[in-house]
Amino acid sequence: MDATTTTAQGTRPRLPRRAVHGVLLLDKPLGLSSNDALQKARRLYRAEKAGHTGTLDPLATGLLPLCFGAATKFSQVSLEADKTYRARLRLGVRTTTGDAEGEVLAERPVQVTREQVLTACARFTGEIDQVPPMYSALKRDGKALYEYARAGIEVEREPRRVTIHRIDVLDFRGDEVEIEVRCSKGTYVRTLAEDIGEALGCGAHLVALRRTGTGPLTLEGAVTLEQLEAMDEAGRDRLLRPVDELLADWPVVRLEAGDAGRFLSGMRRRVALPDAPQVRVYGPQPGAFLGSARIRGGELISTRLLSPLEVEGLLNAQASKHRHPS
């Protein structure tokens, strides 16, 4: 691999990439896209392979789990997981984008009570249909919807079924409401804010959004890019969570050494366990995560496997943390 990069100022060394495995809980800042945040963290880790687990708009802050190395094999799990958000709504004002970045479309007086806000929020709990906003990254004929919107073109969008598990009203002051939302993947909180505003008869838009949870992961222990930059490489490595934290709410299956080796080669194993759609599988060593599987008819069937090198890398990383605790 080329060890140098030529710049206008001359030639500077390019740091080599390295095999890094684990999950980083990043507290994404305001104004930065999810991909930009990922690339900044990847450079700091010099990681060979990295990916994020679901886009947060630049307007949004909060939990963005980043996957490195073997963890990228399970990023879809976090993408599919339920999410938790804190959102602040401005009542009485509708905008072109449904958030504070858009132009004002209409203003109406706000004459609502806390009880009316609670009733409006209750209307949108459970399974509901949402029409995706025009200012979104969804594709239509190979082009993102926001590209049509910027050109002044509105296209028809099919409603999507999402689940709002709960909406808690945290604060209500005049024309501002703060809510906490637990919802399924694919939910647009901007659209939810607009719908609540319409139910109240005054309109609304989103002025702040913070993701606080995705599946079993929360903001507890999350770090900012500034904190990452201030650390040395060893300090950053200690922040990485085990790959299997992405599957922390799945049942556990543990195999003896012989069966563990065969499972890693893709062979089905007999187990005296009930059927399960998704389980996480371990070898005999503590922390020896091997991959994910399903159980059907007494057979353990792999769905996503780590390579022996990845398993060894994870065990080495765990041993290093025990030798050098933070």
Predicted local confidence at residue 1, as pLDDT: 39
pTM here?
0.87
Interatomic CA distance for residues 245 and 165, integer angstroms: 23
Distance of CA 167 to CAs 60, 183, 268, 289, Å? 18, 9, 43, 36
Predicted local confidence at residue 270, as pLDDT: 94
Predicted local confidence at residue 2, as pLDDT: 40
Interatomic CA distance for residues 295 and 255, integer angstroms: 14
Predicted local confidence at residue 7, as pLDDT: 45
Interatomic CA distance for residues 206 and 98, integer angstroms: 6
Predicted local confidence at residue 46, as pLDDT: 96
Under-70 pLDDT residues of the chain: 1-14, 136-137, 322-326
Catalytic residue list contains 237: no
Q: Provide the phi-psi class of 189: left if phi over 0, else alpha when psi is between -120 and 50, else beta.
A: alpha
Phi, psi at residue 186, to the nearest 5°?
85, 0
Phi, psi at residue 224, to the nearest 5°?
-95, 165
Residues 6+ apart with CB under 8 A from 25: 63, 65, 217, 219, 221, 222, 223, 239, 241
Q: Indicate which residue of 2, 27, 36, 57 is catalytic.
A: 57
